[in-house]
Amino acid sequence: MEWIPLVKASYGLTEENELLKSLRSGHLQGDGPSTKKVHRFFEDHYKIERALFTTSCTDALELSALLLDLKPGDEVIVPSYTFVSTANAFALRGAKIVFADSRPDHPNVSMDCIRKLITPRTRAVVPVHYAGFACEMDELMKLAEQKNFIVIADAAQAIESTHQGRPTIAWGHMSTLSFHQTKNVSCGEGGMLIVNDKRFSLRAEILREKGTNRAAFFRGEVDKYNCVDMGSSYLASDLLAGVLWGQLQRLPELQSARHKIWKTYAEKLAPLADKVELPKLLPNTEHNAHCYYLVCKNLSERTRLNQFLKDRQIGATFHYISLHKSPYYGPKHDGRELPQSDRYTDGLLRLPLFPTMTDAEVNHVVDSIKAFFS
Ligand SMILES: *Cc1c(COP(=O)(O)O)cnc(C)c1O
């Protein structure tokens, strides 16, 4: 058996053709013909107010943070068990980062924990839809209304998943997607700011375009474009939008391949449920087969399992390391214990999952895990 990587993006002729179309159009800068197709796809398919293609999810988060106009002392609540950008995007704008713990039964952030952390200085809460499982957005949006804060969902992993029957990315005042090579749909590097609350639409467009009303100018709404706000450059090249548009045309094919593998893992590993924690399906959310993971009892068991799988050519990998204990955020953290975040830091192991993974490869992973626990 050859080495089985954790993830492998699948690009084919559709992506090649769309990339060439973008190149030959001569419009390589941002917001060209391919970007327009990508925007329209998201706005129509997921019924969202505004989609803005960006250079990464990190940049989409930074753009959302700019829109908040944060003042010194403003607090932003983020899970500790997440990718660094969820916190850094807001720290860059001077926010005080307040870390929330995960749920005992799922790596997603705990609503009980968030409730306890809300203060009059809370300006935003940034839930992360881990492995494409939506957080309790209905509860969180109710709380946001009562306590007057903004919800920006880090939906980097959540394309195509749903919450209460609606696309997960349509929840929150804003949400952000990633098209990094490791995600369900990718163009190498790329992201998107989804604006669900109309109040932010126009300004998001302006801040993304270096603080100018250039987009309105190109639509013929103003007769010259000018510097109307602060801002930066968050547009990605139309070449990347071409690759992404190719991927989006293959979305049903890519997703069904992923779901088939996820289901096989779930069915064949179910007998191990008393030996190792398996992903819990949550009510009110349909996941998107982004990632299949196990949660081992402790770090030592995970290290042994990881090595056992490596010896069998399987590229399983752990995931995040609690941000509240990181060299940067550790000294700034208020000292609260976040035991669930630490438990996933030590115990969680992701299994290989990508659209072109063969049945033989999936079975080899399953058999190897069973061998370890027998
Ligand atoms: C991948 C990921 C990011 C970063 O995405 P980029 O497009 O690489 O910036 C942020 N948050 C989460 C939860 C992610 O999974």
Give the mutation target among 81, 135, 180 for probing the ligand 1 site: most ligand atoms within 8 A of CB.
180
Distance 199 CA to ligand 1 centre (A): 25
The dihedral formed by the CA atoms of 348, 353, 359 and 360, expressed in degrees to the nearest 10: -60
| Per-residue model confidence as pLDDT tens digits over 145-196 | 999 999 999 999 999 999 999 999 999 999 999 999 999 999 999 999 999 9
Q: For residue 197, what pLDDT is reported?
A: 98
Mean pLDDT lowest for which of 94-98, 217-221, 320-324? 217-221
d(CA 65, CA 61) in angstroms, rounded, equals 6
Residues 315-337 have pLDDT tens digits of 999 999 999 999 999 999 999 99
* Same domain (yes/no): 244, 318: no
Say whether pLDDT at 355 is over 90: yes
Give the domain-ending residue among 206, 234, 249: 249
Could you tell me which of 194, 205, 171, 169 has the C-alpha nearest to residue 290? 169
Q: Which domain, by its residues, includes 164?
A: 13-249
225 is a domain residue? yes
In a domain? residue 233: yes
Q: Left if phi > 0, otherwise alpha if psi is -120 to 50, otherwise beta: which for 217?
A: alpha
Give pTM, 2 decimals. Answer: 0.98
Percent of the chain with pLDDT over 90: 98
Query: Does one domain contain both 211 and 258?
Result: no
Residues 238 and 260 in one domain: no
Are residues 138 and 285 located together in one domain of the fold? Answer: no
Q: Mean of the per-residue pLDDT values for the chain?
A: 97
pLDDT at 1 exceeding the cut of 90: no
Mark whether 283 and 212 lie in a shared domain.
no
CATH of the domain at 152: 3.40.640.10
- Over range 256-272, report the average pLDDT: 98
Q: How confident is residue 285, by pLDDT bands cut at 50, 70 and 90?
A: very high
Backbone φ and ψ of 296, nearest 5°: -75, 165
Query: Residue 171 region, left (φ>0) first, then alpha (ψ -120 to 50), else beta?
Result: beta
Q: Beta 75-79 vs 50-54: how paired, if at all?
A: unpaired
- Amino acid identity for residue 213 in this structure: N
On whether both 367 and 258 belong to a single domain, the answer is: yes
Residue of 154, 287, 319 to test ligand 1 pocket, by largest number of atoms within 8 Å of CB: 154
- In this structure, are 238 and 216 located in the same domain? yes
Q: Which atom of ligand 1 is nearest to the CA of 182?
A: 1
